[in-house]
Structure 1
C-alpha cells in the first residue's frame, strides 16, 4: 500500500543521514559553506547525528531546519537498501543518489493524497488514485532501477491533475476561483490588505512578504517560496498543497493556523 501522510514525514532516526551527505549546498543565507554532493557535512558525527542540531540557525544553517525529505530518507535507508549503511561500500553509496529521486516522488505522493481528501475534486479521484499508486511503485523500485526513473516526466504527467483539482476546490460554492498570482514575484511585498482567499499562488515568490493575519483559505500554495515570509497570525488551515518545508522556512507564531496534517514549527 502507498504510504499514508503520516509516513510521508522525515524520520531521521531511521535514516543514515543521507541528506547530510548526498545533497549539495552552497554558502548562502541558508547554508554556512559550500558542500558538493556525496561529501559528508563537516558537522555530521560518526553516529549519523548532527553536531550542531540544537543551534543550526545560529550557526548559519536555517536551510537544514527547513528541509524535509517527505519520508524518503528512511525508505531508501531501510527498504531500498535493506538497512545497509552508505559507508558499507560503493554499492551501498548508491542510496545517496537515490534520495533526491525518492524525495521528489514522495512529494508528489503528498500532493496526490491531498487531492483524494478534496470532496470537490471527486471527479478526479480515480485518476489521482491511479497516479498515486504509480508514483509509489516508482518510489519502491530497487537500486538498479531508481536512477533510470524519469522524475521530471512523471511530475509533468501529474501536474495537470493537480491544477484541475485546485481549480475545482477554489471555485466550489461560488463558481469562480480567486486571484491568479501564480509565479508572480511578490518578494518583500506588504500583502496584509490583499484578498488572497482562493488565490492561485503556486510558484509565487513570497520571500519576506508581509502576510500577518492574512486569510489564505483555499489558496493554492503549491511550490510557493515562503522563505522569510511573515505568517504570524495568518490562516493557512484550509490552504492547498502546503508542505512542512514551506512552513518551516517562514516566520510563524502560536496564532498561525496550519493545515491539520502539519505540525506547528518549534521556533
Structure 2
C-alpha cells in the first residue's frame, strides 16, 4: 500500500515512479521466492524499516489468490454491526462533503480534508492501528495520539499558528476534536466562509509541515505557516468566487 508520505518522496520523479509500478519487477510475486520474502529484491525498492514490516506479513504458499480482509477485524463487532456502521458513516460523510464543497478550497486542501473525514490520513495512529508502526503519538511531542481529532484541532503547532493569525486580525476558532471542528466549520458556511477556508488551509499546511519534520528533520516556522495560510486561502477564495463574465477593466 502506497500512502502520500511515499508518493511525496517520488513526486519529483513521477514518470520514473509510474514506470516502476508498471514494470514486471514490481509485481508482488517478484518479492516472494520459494514461499518466502526475497530480501534482496525488497532492498531494491524499500528501506529497512518498511522491509521489517513487510517481512512480518505471513505468506500462505497454498493460496492462489488474494482475499479481502476487514481493516476493523479486531474491533470485536459482528459483520452486521460493521455493515450498519459503514452505512451510517457513509451517509454522514456525504452530508459533510455537501457543505464543505461550498468553502471553495484548493483541490489539494479539499483532498486532504476528504481523507481526514474518511480516516485515510497516514498519521502515526493510523499506522499503529494497521500494525505498521509501534508509535501512535504526535511526532512534535504533544503527548497525544496523532489521530484526526489531534490533526484537526488539538495539535499544539496548529493552535500556535491560529493564535498568530488571530493576532493579525483574523478570528479563527479553536476546536477540541474533529467532530467539534466539522460542526463549527459547517456553521461558518455562508456566514464567514473565508474564515472556514483559512482554517482548513491552515490545518493542511500544518500537516504538510509535520511530514517535512518526519522525513527531513525540519519544519516550517509559525510565521511562515501563518503567512502561507493567508495567501493560499485568499487566492483560492478569490479564484473560486469571481464571476464568469469579467469585463476588460476587471
Per the TM superposition, whether the score is higher than 0.5 is no
- Length-normalised TM-score, structure 2: 0.27
Q: Which has the bigger relative contact order, CA under 8 A and spacing at least 6?
A: 2
Structure with the largest fraction of helix? 2
